[in-house]
Amino acid sequence: MNKFFRLSTSLLVFLQGLILVLVLFTDKIHIPLAFLGRMHPLVLHLPIGFGVFLVLIFVLKKWIDAQAFQEIFRFLLYLTSIFSAITAIFGMFLSSEGGYDLEQITFHQWAGLGVNWLYVLLLFVYEKGYLEGRNLFYGVLVGLASFFLAGHGGADLTHGEDYLWAKVDGEAVVLTEESVVFEAVIQPIFKQKCEACHNDQKTKGALNMSSIAKLLKGGKNGSIWKAGDPLNSHFIQRAKLPIDNKKHMPPKGKAQLSPDEVLLLTAWVQEGASVSKKLGSFGANSKLISLAKKLQNTAQALLIPVKVYDFSAASESNLAAANTPFCSVYPLSSDAPALQADFYVSKKYERKTLENLSKVSEQLVGLNLAKMPFKDEEIGLLTKFSNLEKLILNFTEITGKTLGELSACKHLTSLALSGTKVNKEVLVNLLGKIPSLKEVFIWNTGVSLDQVAGIQAQFPKVKIQAGYVLKDEQLQINPPILVTENFILKPNEDFVFKHTLKDVIFHYTLNDSTPDSLGALVSRGPLKIEKYSKVKVMATKPGWLASRVLEYKVYKSAFIPDSIYLLSKPDLKYPAKGGYSLKDFVQGFRETGRRSELPDYTWLGFFNNDLEALFEFKKPISPKGITFSYLRKTDSDVFPPVSIEVFAGNSPNALTRVALVKPEKPEKRNGYTQMGQDIPLKPGIYKYYKIKALSLRRLPKYLLKDDKKEEVVNKGKPAWLRVDEILFY
């Protein structure tokens, strides 16, 4: 410890010597240590801190032993002396940069040195033992006071003289024809953005902008503008330099001019840089005036009128207590004490929660109880909310007979009663009792439109919002919504539709004719389908126009074979899952893009080969017919079978032909179509059915004609036969 005090003493002597040199030879020394000077505002807080602690340590004196107290006191006194000296030295470095008011800087310098010397003196007399006990306390107290004296001078230098006492916000000046434009719009910019460094106390670059006269004198380079010539005006040039440029004004780190302000200053110089011209004497085309007005209008329009409430904010604990998961109570904004409360989830509504709001009854200005099972008896709970402005009671259970009690809410201006049982009498009574109301919402209540007109005439100051009026307009109903997901129906499956509106009837046809609301088949949901059909269906409801007609191809099966044996081999490209695929009730996928190159597992494909398959039923069946579903793509090379033959019998070896059909030959080029071929059967009961479908072996001519390319590739080639399902009905 002693080593520290020894070293400190030497350091202090050295610093005092340095100070002496600096004070005596101020003008002769140029110190290239600006960086240390800039540290002055940082370092100065250290001695102040130590100085404060020197005083505060007397509070602790009772609890620490005398020896320790003396050691700490001495330690702190050394530190205060050393750092006040360093601060003073750095301060002198900083002042050599210039730009400060001479009188002020001189005062601050000597005050700072005074502080330092005061502490050095204190240290000296303390070390010599001349000062102790209570006097010691007075000594450090005087030292601390001296800090404030010196510090205040420093602060004035940095922030300007009236920094402490100046008004925080300037008021917006209203522009009139008589306004002096310079005073109204230009000078305020100088005040805000420039004067901090160009004022009576601190005149950087010898420029003082604090008054018109001083401004007109200009800086060390003379006048800062050239009237009518913004490009050659010094301050405009500096303002437009990139921000990283050393000469950019205002300097980097200080408040910058906004782009609008630069435009405004430029326009002012352009239009003569007059400091006395009135707004009225500028021409109609003055860019300066239009800019000024625009800026002012923007500022005014964005000026948010702060609503002043004559109550204070609710306490945190009351606010927290009023909140529940199903009732949110929250401040409308951070600058006002007003609260809003919203209720959610009707089945969680409790009277208790509403009673609980009394904790914030004064602050509540908005309350939303929409859809809550809130009743007439509970209106009384709302009368406590003396500052309530907007109340929403839409779709609550009130009838309105107690609404008059709300006259206790003297500030209530907006009341929403939509969807309640409120009627004309209630409304008239209400409007009479609560004169503060400006707006009432009564859509979907017992108040009829004719009544609204009458009431509105009686209370012209209140806006009565009646909302949407059902027009005598017929709308087209939306079409049925398909519920069934698969278009290949199993034996007990129906083709099922639903509709989102109640009491809708579906009209449909199965024979490709357009349904109408008279002749067609009718259902309210499931459509009975017997066999492969083209279903056309639409929805109707009284009071609505019939819907669009929807079209579907539906396949239906009544018997599922127990086994299927493929007697001919499908092509390797479309093996599907063998015979099983003919009864898997999975519709063939449509191939797109690259997938068409892959073997597909939902279609059985035959190329240059016929389909021959044996169907086994363990119990003999008597179907009305068979549906053969296949793919047709005549713009490519997938064609219907040329003919389909059906053989039947009770043993696989004794089958007789029971049907032969020839599907319609395609006449035109057509795209991708999934088709069904109906094969009616005569009555008969059999266990085995064999089906033979012949594929087309030579593509027809028209396919070759249209597309030259295909002609070469497909000439004389066979067509594909692609089969999806074979269904017995």
Partner 1 sequence: MENEFLNSRLNVTRRHFFGQAAAGIGGLALGSLLVPDLWKGDSAANAMPLGMAHFAPKAKRIIYLCQNGAPSQLESFDYKPTLITRSGEDLPASIRGNQRLTGMTASQDKFPLMGSFFGFKQYGQSGAWISDIFPNIANIADDLCIIRTMNTDAINHDPALTFLQTGAQVGNRPSMGAWMSYGLGSENKNLPSFCVLLSRGRGNGQGVYSKLWTNGFLDSLHQGVVFSSSDDPILYLNDSDGIDKNARRRMLDELAELNHLGFDENKDPEVEAKVQQYEMAYRMQTAVPELTDLSKEPDHIIKMYGPDCLVPGTYAANALLARKLSESGVRFVQLYHQGWDTHGNLPKEMAMQAQDVDRSSAALITDLKQRGLLDETLVIWGGEFGRTNYCQGTYTVENYGRDHHPRAYSIFMAGGGVKPGIVYGETDEFGYNVVKDPVHIHDFHATVQHLMGLNHEQLTYKHLGRRYRLTDIAGNVIPGLLA
List contacts with partner 1 (CB under 8 A): 41-42, 45, 297-298, 300-302, 304, 306-307, 325-326, 328, 330-336, 338, 340, 342, 344-348, 370-371, 390, 392, 394-395, 414-416, 418-419, 439, 441, 443-444, 465-468, 470, 473, 475-478, 481, 500-501, 544
Residue 725 in contact with residue 488, Cβ under 8 Å?
A: yes
Q: Which is nearer to partner 1, 310 or 473 (CB)?
A: 473
Given a contact cutoff of 8 angstroms between Cβ atoms, the answer to whether 405 and 381 are in contact is no
Please, what is the minimum distance in Å from the beta carbon of residue 39 to partner 1? 11
Is the Cβ of residue 6 or residue 307 nearer to partner 1 in the bound state? 307
Between residues 165 and 468, which has the closer beta carbon with respect to partner 1?
A: 468
- How crowded is the C-beta side of 232, counted as CA atoms within 13 Å? 5
DSSP state for residue 714 in the 8-state scheme: H
Judged by beta carbon, residue 153 or residue 419, the one nearer partner 1 is: 419
CB-nearer residue toward partner 1: 331 or 649: 331
Least distance to partner 1 from the beta carbon of 367, Å? Answer: 12
- What distance in Å separates the CA atoms of residue 344 and residue 323, rounded to the nearest whole number? 12
Q: What radius of gyration do the chain's Cα atoms show?
A: 49
Task: Compute the residue count for the chain.
Answer: 729
Q: Report angle CA 641, 616, 677 to the nearest 5 degrees.
A: 25
Residue 116 dihedral angles phi and psi, to the nearest 5°: -55, -50
**Contact indicator for 422, 400 with CB cutoff of 8 Å:** yes
* Residue nearer to partner 1 on the CB measure, 108 or 499: 499
Nearest-approach distance from CB 552 to partner 1, in angstroms: 18
CA distance 567 to 654: 16
Closest to partner 1 by CB, 115 or 415 = 415
Enter the tokens of residue 447: 């108040």
Q: How far is the CB of 501 from partner 1 (least distance, A)?
A: 6
Closest by CA position to 487, among listed 678, 720, 675, 680 = 675
User: Minimum CB separation from partner 1 for residue 331, in Å?
Assistant: 6
Of 19 and 388, nearer to partner 1 (C-beta) is: 388
Distance (Å, rounded) from C-alpha 509 to C-alpha 136? 112
Q: Residue 292 Cβ, how far from partner 1 at the closest point, in Å?
A: 15
The CB-of-255 to partner 1 minimum distance in angstroms stands at 13
For residue 338, the minimal CB distance to partner 1 (Å) is: 8
Closest residue by Cα to residue 428 from 420, 390, 437: 437
414 versus 629: smaller Cβ distance to partner 1: 414
Is residue 728 within 8 Å of residue 559, measured between CB atoms?
yes
199/161 Cα distance (integer angstroms): 9
Q: How far is the CB of 98 from partner 1 (least distance, A)?
A: 23
Task: Please say which residue, 342 or 591, places its beta carbon nearer to partner 1.
Answer: 342
Minimum Å gap between C-beta 441 and partner 1 is: 4
Q: How far apart are CA 20 and CA 619, in angstroms?
A: 126
Backbone angles phi, psi at 607, to 5 degrees: -130, 125
Q: Which has the closest alpha carbon to 90: 40, 35, 48, 42?
A: 40
Q: Nearest distance from residue 414's CB to partner 1, in Å?
A: 6
DSSP labels, 115-172:
HHHHHHHHHHHHHHT---THHHHHHHHHHHHHHHHHHHHHHHHHH-TTTTTS-SSPPP
For partner 1, the closer CB: 298 or 517: 298
Helix 102-128 × helix 66-95 angle, to 10°: 160
How far apart are CB 538 and partner 1 at their closest, in Å? Answer: 13
What is the spatial distance between Cα 620 and Cα 609, in angstroms, rounded to a whole number? 30
The order of strands in the sheet holding 339-343 is 327-331, 339-343, 364-368, 390-392, 414-416, 439-441, 463-465
- At 504 the three-state DSSP class reads coil
Output 65 or 472, the one with its CB closest to partner 1.
Answer: 472
Q: How far is the CB of 653 from partner 1 (least distance, A)?
A: 54
Nearer to partner 1, 39 or 675 (CB): 39
537 φ/ψ angles, rounded to the nearest 5 degrees: -140, 145
CB neighbours (10 Å) of residue 321?
15
Largest CA distance in the chain: 140
